[in-house]
Structure 1
């Protein structure tokens, strides 16, 4: 049992080290030797867990996809404030991109021209955003002339820009930059002032039922899953 636990810890350390190397050097220039050295594991020890650099990249992408899913959760079909939830979640993602190298590497691998295949985290984010805006539209939260497809593209592009700049240490980034985008976007989406959630409010908690405006409750079962 102890040996299995140590093996799991080593695997996680290799994924974290691979994420740091992939993020810093890019997939093409990342080497097995650099990854194993960063993890303080021999090349043979690395190959015991991962047969190739490609397998390591796939493991980083899979872990990053799970971390993104833990931020977004499924799409709650009866959320009382879908636009507010989208704002909260985009800001949570912006914060995590700054401090979670595995999540950051998962997105950068999706952008890497030398890397083909694997999980596409941008597609995962794009689809979740599209479904959230669809919920908002169906609930009447969007203006009749709101361009849903254009909004999804703009939101995805802003998050992609944030992810790209987060790789450059000279940029002083925070989630407030994403909030500034929403101050411009929400009035166009809603056709009115739009309401930003309290900046000091709690982070999204998709796994807990919340009270709805009509006194009912929305539950996890009222969700569309985006994997």
Structure 2
């Protein structure tokens, strides 16, 4: 392993340790010392890579946001469009939230009111915009009702989905989040003018689980 590869691996290790700390205790309670302790290193040993807790939070948040375009592209490559793509993406996001501490930490950082020294995108704005774009495609394809207010629908879908993640993590460590996402769509699809909700959810749930 080259020196550059070792430095990259060490940086990634620090970011993952920071994510675990943010996920468990939140930004305000986390410290560089507590993050270093997870790695059995001193705070000074981390300063070469990250000069502050805020820099670490920014890196974790960047990981959270930057991965979704690739996930969405893979879903598109598999032939999903419109509402089907939206539903498959929700299952993919839920699975990563369950399995990847960096995703959970990125979500918690969006909630955290203590981020006074960290420059992050406005909370949830990115998700609402992305959901609005996908709903517009579903509308053009005739997959949702013609009279659906896309702006309102995008906000409600994101608000409810954020709640699913939070509740699932608190109650079951998100182990049942796939089933919770199924219920989410069964409840909300009628409001989007979708009449074959149970069949659609059953099919896409099975396909998402197999991905």
Question: TM-score, normalized by length of structure 2?
Answer: 0.85
Matched with 1:187 is 190
Stretches of structure 2 lacking an aligned partner (at least 5 in a row): none
Matched with 2:68 is 68
Structure 2 Cα separation of the partners of residues 41 and 102 of structure 1: 20
Look up the SS of the partner of 2:83 in the other structure: helix
Structure 1 Cα separation of the partners of residues 69 and 122 of structure 2: 13
Q: CA shift at 1:28, angstroms? A: 1.0
Contact persistence 1:92–1:175 (CA under 8 A): no
Contact persistence 1:94–1:163 (CA under 8 A): yes
Question: TM-score, normalized by length of structure 1?
Answer: 0.80
Structure 1 Cα separation of the partners of residues 172 and 190 of structure 2: 32
**Whose RCO is larger (CA < 8 A, sep 6+)?**
1
Could you tell me which of 126, 132, 155 is aligned with 2:134?
Answer: 132
Look up the SS of the partner of 1:201 in the other structure: helix
Assess, with a 3 A threshold, how the Cα gap between structure 1 residues 37 and 74 changes in structure 2: closer, same or farther. Answer: same
Matched with 2:4 is 4
Matched with 2:32 is 32
Look up the SS of the partner of 2:28 in the other structure: coil
Structure 2 Cα separation of the partners of residues 30 and 191 of structure 1: 44
Q: CA shift at 1:15, angstroms? A: 0.3
**Which structure's residues are more often helix, by fraction?**
2
Matched with 1:48 is 48
Structure 1 residue ranges, 4+ long, deviating more than 4 angstroms after superposition: 169-172, 202-205
